[in-house]
């Protein structure tokens, strides 16, 4: 049965699947261009076309945690429904290098880029994917400056540009007068980079009507309990901080959930805004990143699609995280939930200590 679009959009703002594919393919072109000039973008676009010429494909999803598993789950579901490929091997590659420290704790932007580049190179060598989806806003804002992405060896799609497109579309569709503010929630690195704000301003949204709110530790709380009371309280505190910084009317707001973890707790975000009397149009681009790989023109070209899914990580994934996120994932893709439960532990997955002086 065909899955309905995620509840990130109201009936007024929800795009059609065809439109969504167009948005994502256009965003992919912009992402490629960000990694280099027109020649590199052209080569990458050709390689994405090459993906659709194959009957068997390998698609990798990389994240600095477990948020990207929701993207892999959506991809598994949509590929199975679309019947574009005979077989699709989906691999979740956890680019988190330590359970004690993540990318947000690294000493410099250069160190973050170096470690992520090392992870991408290991991913390419070990998995040999046809395309890589960066299911992480933190890593997506670093992506254009990695030597791996600049090489154009494998097409890589980030999540920032699609998210920006969707946030801008939601605000254009808003009927409130004046137009509602845009609230962006993300990790410290995502917010500090300012990429979402910059691109939204380029699209005509006044800078004064954009509030960017960093949410330290929220991703970790969500992994342990996406709908727990503790997670709910933390979300409420960040919503309060963002609303306190919002200028002008705020009975309505367009809210960008710019961390792939945040969609696991969508009900808590809805409640936090509703309890504060704010009609929030929540934009969660996770489910739609997968849509770039299921263009309408190719649907139904094979009788069925065999889906294989696995997950690999260099750090241990606790039983509490597997249980908490597994329940969410199983509703979308049982194979993705099984991949998390049976993940492959590879302590030597990629080098990182020498890159940060440890």
How confident is the model at residue 358, as a pLDDT? 56
Across residues 278-289, what is the average pLDDT? 89
pLDDT at 8 over 70: no
Give pLDDT tens digits for 183-219.
999 999 999 999 999 999 999 999 999 999 999 999 9
> Where do the domains of the chain lie, and which CATH numbers do they carry?
17-159+288-355 (3.40.50.1860), 160-286 (3.40.50.1860)
pLDDT at 16 over 80: no
Q: How far is CA 291 from CA 131, 174, 286, in A?
A: 14, 24, 10
The answer to whether 175 touches 242, Cβ cutoff 8 Å, is: no
Contacts of 193 by beta carbon, 8 Å cutoff, 6+ apart: 141, 142
Cα–Cα distance for residue pair 175/212, rounded to 1 Å: 22
List the single range of 44-53, 61-70, 228-237 with lowest mean pLDDT: 44-53
Residue 314, both tokens: 């260099």
pLDDT at 30 over 50: no
Q: Write the DSSP assignment of 53-91 as a string of letters.
A: T-SEEEEEEEESSSTHHHHHHHHHHHHHHHT--SEEEEE
DSSP helix/strand/coil, 288:
helix
First to last CA, the chain: 50
List the single range of 69-78, 174-183, 186-195 with lowest mean pLDDT: 174-183
Cα–Cα distance for residue pair 325/321, rounded to 1 Å: 6
Strand partners, 282: 255
How confident is the model at residue 75, as a pLDDT? 96
Give pLDDT tens digits for 209-230.
999 999 999 999 999 999 999 9
DSSP character at residue 8: T
Q: Is 357 left (phi over 0), alpha (psi -120 to 50) or beta?
A: left
pLDDT at 9 over 50: no
Residues in the chain: 358
DSSP helix/strand/coil, 44:
helix
């Amino acid at each position: 049965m065909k899955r309905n679009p995620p509840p990130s959009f109201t009936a007024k703002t929800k795009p059609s699947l065809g439109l969504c594919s167009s948005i994502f393919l256009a965003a992919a072109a912009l992402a490629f261009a960000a990694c280099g000039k027109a020649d590199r973008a052209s080569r990458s676009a050709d390689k994405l076309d090459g993906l659709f010429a194959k009957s068997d494909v390998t698609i990798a999803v990389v994240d600095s945690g477990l948020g990207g598993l929701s993207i892999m789950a959506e991809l598994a579901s949509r590929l199975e429904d679309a019947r574009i490929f005979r077989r699709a091997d989906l691999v979740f590659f956890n680019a988190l290098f330590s359970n004690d420290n993540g990318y947000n704790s690294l000493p410099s932007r250069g160190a973050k880029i170096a470690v992520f580049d090392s992870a991408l190179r290991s991913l390419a060598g070990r998995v040999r994917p046809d395309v890589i989806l960066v299911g992480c806003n933190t890593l997506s804002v670093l992506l254009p400056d990695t030597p791996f992405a600049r090489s154009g060896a494998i097409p890589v799609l980030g999540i920032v540009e699609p998210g920006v497109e969707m946030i801008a579309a939601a605000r254009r569709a808003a009927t409130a007068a004046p137009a509602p503010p845009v609230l962006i929630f993300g990790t410290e690195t995502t917010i500090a980079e300012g990429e979402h704000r910059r691109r939204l301003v380029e699209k005509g949204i006044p800078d004064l009507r954009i509030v960017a709110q960093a949410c330290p530790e929220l991703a970790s709380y969500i992994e342990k309990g996406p709908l727990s009371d503790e997670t709910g309280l933390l979300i409420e505190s960040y919503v309060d901080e963002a609303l306190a910084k919002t200028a002008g009317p705020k009975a309505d707001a367009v809210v960008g959930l710019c961390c792939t973890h945040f969609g696991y707790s969508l009900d808590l975000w809805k409640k936090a805004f509703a309890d504060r009397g704010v009609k929030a149009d929540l934009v969660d681009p996770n489910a739609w990143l997968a849509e770039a790989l299921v263009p309408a023109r190719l649907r139904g070209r094979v009788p069925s699609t065999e889906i294989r899914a696995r997950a690999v990580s260099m750090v241990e994934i606790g039983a509490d995280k597997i249980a908490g996120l597994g329940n969410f994932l199983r509703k979308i893709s049982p194979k993705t939930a099984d991949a998390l439960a049976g993940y492959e532990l590879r302590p030597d997955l990629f080098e990182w200590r020498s890159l940060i002086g440890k």
